[in-house]
Amino acid sequence: MRGLVALAWLALVGIAALPAPAAAQQQRPESCAACHLETGDERLANPVKQFGEDIHSAKGFGCVACHGGDAREAGMEAMDPAKGYIGKPERRQVLQVCGRCHSDARFMKQYNPALRVDQVTEYATSVHGRRLREFGDPKVATCVNCHPAHSIKPPSDPRSSVHPLKVADTCGRCHGDPKYMEAYKIPTDQLAKYRQSVHWRLMSVKGDLSAPTCNDCHGNHGAAPPGISWVGNVCGQCHTVQAEFFGKSPHAKVFAQMGVPGCATCHSNHEIKEATDAMLGLADQAVCAGCHAAADKGGKAAADMRALIDSLGGEYDKARAILLQAERAGMEVSQAQFDLNGAKDALVKARAAVHAFAVAAVKKETEPGLTISAKAYARGVRALEELQFRRKGLAVSLVIILAVIAGIVVKIRQLDRKEQRTPSP
């Protein structure tokens, strides 16, 4: 049975791929718009109104490109099925309609050579596509659920439903709706959780559109859960260093055996928070404490790594503070401050090296950082000592001034005595 359905599916796609339509040489104006606007029925008029801003309209396509029929006819004859008119495409038909052009590399090249042409193939691998194919599921998303027909805009357009800032909303329309998703028995809190995450904050507050949203981890047309063995690869797209460390770490194998996901075990997934040093070690907010205790080897390593990072952080802050103090006092310490950047780098690297889950790896980064911090601190101390030198100079000049004052005072007394002896007339 399933084989048959698959075969039918392939046939559909295959047929769709065959006749590349005679492109956009549509004659305008079309008769469709005239009638649809006149009826006064919103349902009929809206597609026409919206289509003006659609990317396809901008590229010169008209209604017929998708709906078939003959727009040159003025009346109802335009919608003759014999002329290829299909009306509103069925769910499965949508794939065929869009794929007819979008899967045709030669055709697409005329309009957007950079655009991929594997969306339909990818869709077939997605949970959406599989459910549509296998069960004819009427609720799963097809092309038009994410790219609203008649008002499709490229992802770079801020008004587009697939602009990075809008993707979460677009997916959340279904996945954030508990009633709609009831039958599937999967959580519906992803959108709410994602809104709490560091990724969304980066994107929405800092305007970093390269921060990940739904499709960056789940894929877009091939949307699917990344899968346990995949999570590291997905996060590792951006967090390469950590992923590399993790891949070689003892956790990589153990986590796989235990059947728990890599990164997400400690960092969670949708509501991922900014990682802090507090996550490391065995203290209150530390995630390591979930499995490890102070007595076991891993617990000890966790505590040691935390101690290393804390000591570097502390030394760095100390050096920075003393240099700032010296700078405020008017000493020249900019070179020392400049060199101290190295300690900050080391701290960042050490935090990444934590993902090797080996004390030695962290130590390799913290040690040079500690050396740099100590040097900078020493320079700060020296600068403050230099202030003491100023005070020595001050002491010398004070002695001189006091000597002059003493001399003058003696002179004054001398004068007074002389005047007393020779009273003025």
Residues that bind other proteins (CB under 8 A): 202, 206, 208, 210-211, 238-242, 244, 327-332, 334-335, 337-338, 341-342, 344-345, 348-349, 352, 390-391, 393-394, 396-398, 400-405, 407-412, 414-416, 424
Nearer to other proteins, 232 or 299 (CB): 232
At 353, which amino acid appears? A
Nearer to other proteins, 95 or 346 (CB): 346
Q: CA-to-CA distance for 370 and 340, rounded, in angstroms?
A: 10
Nearer to other proteins, 65 or 319 (CB): 319
Give me the least distance between CB of 206 and other proteins, in Å please: 7
Nearer to other proteins, 239 or 270 (CB): 239
* Sign of the C-alpha dihedral computed for residues 238, 240, 245 and 248 taken in this order: positive
Give me the least distance between CB of 405 and other proteins, in Å please: 5
Give me the least distance between CB of 122 and other proteins, in Å please: 23
Nearer to other proteins, 247 or 342 (CB): 342
Q: Find out whether 83 and 70 touch, Cβ atoms under 8 Å.
A: yes
Nearer to other proteins, 130 or 349 (CB): 349
Nearer to other proteins, 162 or 350 (CB): 350
Nearer to other proteins, 22 or 404 (CB): 404
Give me the least distance between CB of 327 and other proteins, in Å please: 8
Give me the least distance between CB of 274 and other proteins, in Å please: 11
Give me the least distance between CB of 352 and other proteins, in Å please: 6
Give me the least distance between CB of 261 and other proteins, in Å please: 20
Give me the least distance between CB of 415 and other proteins, in Å please: 6
Give me the least distance between CB of 219 and other proteins, in Å please: 19
Nearer to other proteins, 19 or 158 (CB): 158
- Output the 3-class SS for the chain: CHHHHHHHHHHHHHHHHCCCCCCCCCCCCCHHHHHHHHCCCHHHHHHHHHHCCCHHHHCCCCCHHHHCCCCCCCCHHHHCHHHCCCCCCCHHHHHHHHHHHHCCHHHHHCCCCCCCCCHHHHHHHCHHHHHHHHHCCCCCCCHHHHCCCCCCCCCCCCCCCCCHHHHHHHHHHHHCCHHHHHHHCCCCCHHHHHHCCHHHHHHHCCCCCCCCCHHHHHCCCCCCCCCCCCHHHHHHCCCHHHHHHHHHCHHHHHHHHHCCCCHHHHHCCCCCCCCCHHHCCCCCCCCHHHCCCCCCHHHHHHHHHHHHHHHHHHHHHHHHHHHHHHHHCCCCCHHHHHHHHHHHHHHHHHHHHHHHCCHHHHHHHHHHHHHHHHHHHHHHHHHHHHHHHHHHHHHHHHHHHHHHHHHHHHHHHHHHHHHHHCCCC
